[in-house]
Amino acid sequence: DTAVSQTPKYLVTQMGNDKSIKCEQNLGHDTMYWYKQDSKKFLKIMFSYNNKELIINETVPNRFSPKSPDKAHLNLHINSLELGDSAVYFCASSRNAGFSNTEAFFGQGTRLTVV
Amino acid sequence: AQKITQTQPGMFVQEKEAVTLDCTYDTSDPSYGLFWYKQPSSGEMIFLIYQGSYDQQNATEGRYSLNFQKARKSANLVISASQLGDSAMYFCAMSPMDSNYQLIWGAGTKLIIKP
């Protein structure tokens, strides 16, 4: 069983399209995150949800909208995709609100390519 | 300012040798966690080891150990008896309490193990 699973692993799409990336964790964790890793490998947090409530919303275009239907899921919907959105997106989860211990895991990443 | 510095953008190491990946951090927070993650070419983010700021002993996990020198604010990762499969990007990260234990990432070190 994969602790944090995100789908799809690869996503190639045209500019202007709308796409979603799904994330599910089976660890019973309270907090889930979305990170973006750019071409220079720099990781930046985008959103964090604790018990389905948004607790972190970094400066991200409002074309990006997270949706948490329940504590185990945090999906990322992106409208009107742009070339600059091409990156690897990681979902993560932690037991508490933050990485205060080892109870924190990342998904395998989704490589998004906008053409 | 809270910051993680990895000064080695890339390293070549002969197989079976030990390797030390440098990480220094800057925080005035007395409570924080330090993490190392491995990102192989397949892209996933794999947790390796964790050190809490109040932990008295250096963390160890199999071939990985964290050389924690609190006064120097360094948290170097030591990999003993390196293997070809250790070739990957390695990221050091810190989670200070002041930032609600959110991860602050280093730029990463690309490690290549030579046969």
Query: Is B58's pLDDT higher than 90?
Result: yes
pLDDT of residue B100: 82
Query: Is B75's pLDDT higher than 90?
Result: yes
DSSP state, B17?
Answer: S
Q: Which amino acid is at A11?
A: L
Beta-bridged to residue B68, according to DSSP, are B75
Q: How far apart are CA B107 and CA B89, in angstroms?
A: 10
Average pLDDT, integer, range A32-50: 92
Chain B residues lying within 8 Å of A3, measured CB to CB: none
Burial, B9: exposed, middle or buried (Cβ in 10 Å; 0-12, 13-18, 19+)? exposed
Identify the residue whose tokens are 């190639």: A12
Query: Is B79's pLDDT higher than 80?
Result: yes
Sheet containing A64-67: order of strands: A4-7, A19-25, A75-78, A64-67
From residue B78, give the alpha-carbon distance in Å to each of A90, A100, B20, B68.
26, 22, 4, 11
Residue of chain A minimizing CA distance to B90: A41
DSSP state, A101?
Answer: S
pLDDT of residue A39: 87
The chain-wide mean pLDDT, for chain A, equals: 92
Angle, vertex CA A33, rays to CA B99 and CA B47, nearest 5: 85
Query: Is A40's pLDDT higher than 90?
Result: no
Proportion of chain B above pLDDT 90, given as a percent: 90
CB B22 within 8 A of CB B91: no
Chain A residues lying within 8 Å of B52, measured CB to CB: 101
Which of A16, A9, A24, A17 shows the shortest CA–CA distance to A75? A24
Q: How far apart are CA B8 and CA B109, in angstroms?
A: 6
Q: Could you tell me the pLDDT band of residue A58, with boundaries at 50, 70 and 90? A: confident
Beta-bridged to residue B12, according to DSSP, are B112
Instruction: Give A7 to chain B, closest Cα distance, Å.
Output: 13
pLDDT of residue A1: 61
Instruction: Give B21 to chain A, closest Cα distance, Å.
Output: 17
Query: Is A21's pLDDT higher than 90?
Result: yes
Average pLDDT, integer, range B67-81: 97
Chain B residues lying within 8 Å of A108, measured CB to CB: 42-44
Q: How far apart are CA B38 and CA B109, in angstroms?
A: 10
Among candidates B33, B39, B46 on the partner chain, residue whose Cβ is nearest the Cβ of A99: B33
Q: How far apart are CA A56 and CA A48, in angstroms?
A: 5
Q: How far apart are CA B18 and CA B15, in angstroms?
A: 8
Q: How far apart are CA B17 and CA B99, in angstroms?
A: 37
